Structure 1
Amino acid sequence: MNAVSNNKEAVGERYQLETMRHAQQMTWKAIDQIARAITPGMRESEAQAQGKTILAQMGMDRIWHPLLVRFGANTLKTFKQRSEGDPELGTDDIFFIDMGVVWQGHEGDAGATFTTGSDPQMIACAAAAKTLFDQVEGFWRSEQVSGVALYDFAAAQAKAMGWTLNLDIKGHRVSDFPHAIHRGGDLGNLAQYPNTGLWILEIQLAHPERPFGAFYEDLLI
């Protein structure tokens, strides 16, 4: 496709679906390594610094959006909101990792939620974000609906599960770096079927009563 196209799914000349798969796989490897390095007693800022060190050791090209690590109540914050303070991770706590990293010139973007200890509602919230992602991804795969319809489905499913979906977070484009020149907009506002290997589905849930949430995102592929 022409890199200067106005098409919401335009890509650059270097774009390859298989390299997007590679970027996705490397991003998940990084999330796994960073999650295992985060332990109770760490500050949010310390976990973020550790994450950047791990990414550098893994041979990334560059970070294309800031690495976010959110602890406790900060799991309710959206990407553009700053964390409150620099909380310490507790022994019964919840945290998520959200990263956007370039590998071989292609944008990886993924996020997941983890828990420490045995708080059943925190564990359930983290699991629900992944479960809802899987349900919406399955709906995308089987029904081939628009991005708008995907998020309508996600909101209804979240409510049925007893959680609140944050609809300020509606997914976005990725491709060969930098995707931003194509101005694809939010997945949740896309009036057409989102094709494979180009869109990140984001799910952010809030507990209906307690001050924490969960996040999960991955490439629709």
Structure 2
Amino acid sequence: MNTTLSGKEAVGERFALASMGQAQRLTWQAVERIAEVIRPGMLESEAQALGKQILAELGMERIWHPLLIRFGANTLKTFKQRSDGDPVLGENDIFFIDMGVVWQGHEGDAGATFTTGADPQMIACAAAAKTLFDRVEAYWREGVAGTELYRYATDQAQAMGWTLNLDIKGHRVSDFPHAIHRGGDLGHFEGAPSPGVWILEIQIAHPELPYGAFYEDLLI
């Protein structure tokens, strides 16, 4: 248990940093497993249903936020926005997976973007979301504030030629449920974010074409 966290970083009595790391690993295994079965010709709703089935097979304790799978132009949608229609994944297309799953009482949250086919701009977009995440994560390790992380992310995205969606700025996780602690957004946190309790979210948009990419992971 970690008893040093308080305020917007408060955690419950069951919280353990090692358990957060384990939840992170299990969540990434689930993301990768779902990505492997998503194929061109599949409806977005079909992928979603298949994803839920796979999570159940993997022995998740519960879903703490809805599983989101977005195809094509819906990759521009934020978490709170509904998908437009029920698109079919194309032979040259882009999609992302975003999941929040509880494992052994601790919240995992991960998301990544994938492509089908060989469209170079889509492949570059998916890669750029991960690259930008990695740059911001490295900056976090220097001990900067959460507010500074998203200022830096904005500048880096612009330099890379992409548009950062600032409607999402990361959020809290902990032993379930983290919501009782009301931690707010990472991008509004004025302290240096502690390991194991914050999710860094990166969502970018192509500057001209109707799609984007998403990547998120635990800062640990």
Q: TM-score range by the shorter chain?
A: over 0.9
* Counterpart residue type for residue 202 of structure 2: I
Work out whether residues 66 and 100 of structure 1, in 8 Å CA contact, stay in contact via their aligned partners in 2. Answer: yes
SS in 2 for 1:110: strand
Cα shift at 1:6: 6.6
The alignment yields a C-alpha RMSD, in angstroms, of 1.3
Whole-Å Cα distance in 1 between the matches of residues 143 and 18 of structure 2?
21
User: For residue 209 of structure 1, what is the aligned residue in structure 2?
Assistant: 208
Q: Does structure 1 residue 108 correspond to structure 2 residue 108?
A: yes
* Counterpart residue type for residue 45 of structure 1: S
Equivalences for residues 95-174 of structure 1 within 5 A = 95-141=95-141, 143-174=142-173
User: For residue 61 of structure 2, what is the aligned residue in structure 1?
Assistant: 61
For normalisation by structure 2, the TM-score amounts to 0.98
Structure 2 residues without counterparts, runs of 5 or longer: none
Whole-Å Cα distance in 1 between the matches of residues 48 and 2 of structure 2?
37
Q: Does structure 1 residue 94 correspond to structure 2 residue 94?
A: yes
* Counterpart residue type for residue 204 of structure 1: Q
User: For residue 8 of structure 2, what is the aligned residue in structure 1?
Assistant: 8
Whole-Å Cα distance in 2 between the matches of residues 9 and 38 of structure 1?
36
Whole-Å Cα distance in 2 between the matches of residues 42 and 103 of structure 1?
28
SS in 2 for 1:217: strand
Whole-Å Cα distance in 2 between the matches of residues 16 and 110 of structure 1?
18
For normalisation by structure 1, the TM-score amounts to 0.97
User: For residue 188 of structure 1, what is the aligned residue in structure 2?
Assistant: 187
Cα shift at 1:2: 9.8
Q: How many percent identity over aligned positions?
A: 75
User: For residue 76 of structure 1, what is the aligned residue in structure 2?
Assistant: 76
Cα shift at 1:9: 0.5
Cα shift at 1:80: 0.1
Cα shift at 1:163: 0.1
User: For residue 27 of structure 1, what is the aligned residue in structure 2?
Assistant: 27
Work out whether residues 6 and 182 of structure 1, in 8 Å CA contact, stay in contact via their aligned partners in 2. Answer: no
Whole-Å Cα distance in 1 between the matches of residues 89 and 60 of structure 2?
27
Q: Deviations over 1:26-67 (max 9, x none)?
A: 000000000001000000000000000000000000000000
Work out whether residues 2 and 15 of structure 2, in 8 Å CA contact, stay in contact via their aligned partners in 1. Answer: no
* Counterpart residue type for residue 139 of structure 1: Y
Whole-Å Cα distance in 2 between the matches of residues 37 and 101 of structure 1?
19
Whole-Å Cα distance in 1 between the matches of residues 192 and 139 of structure 2?
12
Change (3 A) 1:2 1:161: closer
